[in-house]
Homo-oligomer: A and B are copies of this chain.
């Protein structure tokens, strides 16, 4: 009976070990115990060791919410992305995660499903102190995002990567999209393409626009008449894209496809299989992509490969500059990373 009570008691104790109980166990005050977990405080090495040992024994961890309420910072960054089950974004998050871990920060993940309202809600919500900063690839280019100017300022540092809002002045990491798509288009032209379709998911997104401009300018350089029917607005749904791409292939009979995201290159491949079109004979395909197995596709896919992991890492670095930097830098910081063209069989003559 006594044993039972004892067990019950210790279980309860186990259930919630806190600084007070730990202090009692050690016959010390809470403040002394607290000091043991901070680096720069005055505490006898001996005492500190005793405390840490006991803490480990009892599995004590300073309560995160109490600490952060006190210190007004969370050592947490939030990542907001349009989608998760996506090569590019998972690599970028991987890059962020690595840097965050080095800095002993934790990461929260938020997925907007390309829904601008969710993005707004997430950001608004995050102003409750849950995160010290945000790294985001934007979802709602077409919308009014002035709310970010109010919120996004010094209160909660924000860094963009890849998909940015041009009108919001925050640090950002992008790739040299204009050059890359110019070169991509040029490559198709030099391989003999004359009717090049540009597939894009959301052409109002700045990233879509930049890439499109490279395409347009390359056409111009080679005196190929621009025809806006060849700018094809696609969606995020496999089924819809299948219909859209097949229509384009049948109606416009392009001899080159420039896909602004890898998903659209896949849609093109599937469509060609179904329509018995042969890549690269009937149609050459090039795509922005960070797919590591592009060489294994049938045919191997010519890609403009973005350094996705690096992009994430740099974005994290920019955020930590804001969070931990001594001096406030007032100019916009923009990091431009280079994509690289890998020529493979999908664009071979």
Contact = CB atoms under 8 A, between A and B. Distances in A.
A94 interface: yes
Identical copies in the complex: 2
Contacts of A155: 14-15
A103 interface: no
A296 B309 contact: no
Interface in A1-55: 14-15
A222 to B, nearest CB: 30
A130 to B, nearest CB: 4
B64 A129 contact: yes
A300 interface: yes
Contacts of A191: none
A329 interface: no
Contact of A84 (B97, B127, B151): B97
A309 B85 contact: yes
Contacts of A69: 63, 65-66, 69
Nearest to A131: B64
B93 A84 contact: yes
A298 interface: yes
By CB atoms of chain B within 10 A, which of A87, A106, A111, A266 has the most? A106
A128 B61 contact: yes
A332 interface: no
Interface string A55-72: 000010111111011000
Interface in A78-95: 83-87, 90-91, 93-94
A337 interface: no
A154 B150 CA distance: 43
Nearest to A66: B69
A224 interface: no
Contacts of A309: 85
Given A61-B124, A84-B97, A93-B109, 6 more contacts: A65-B68, A85-B90, A85-B91, A85-B309, A107-B109, A297-B298
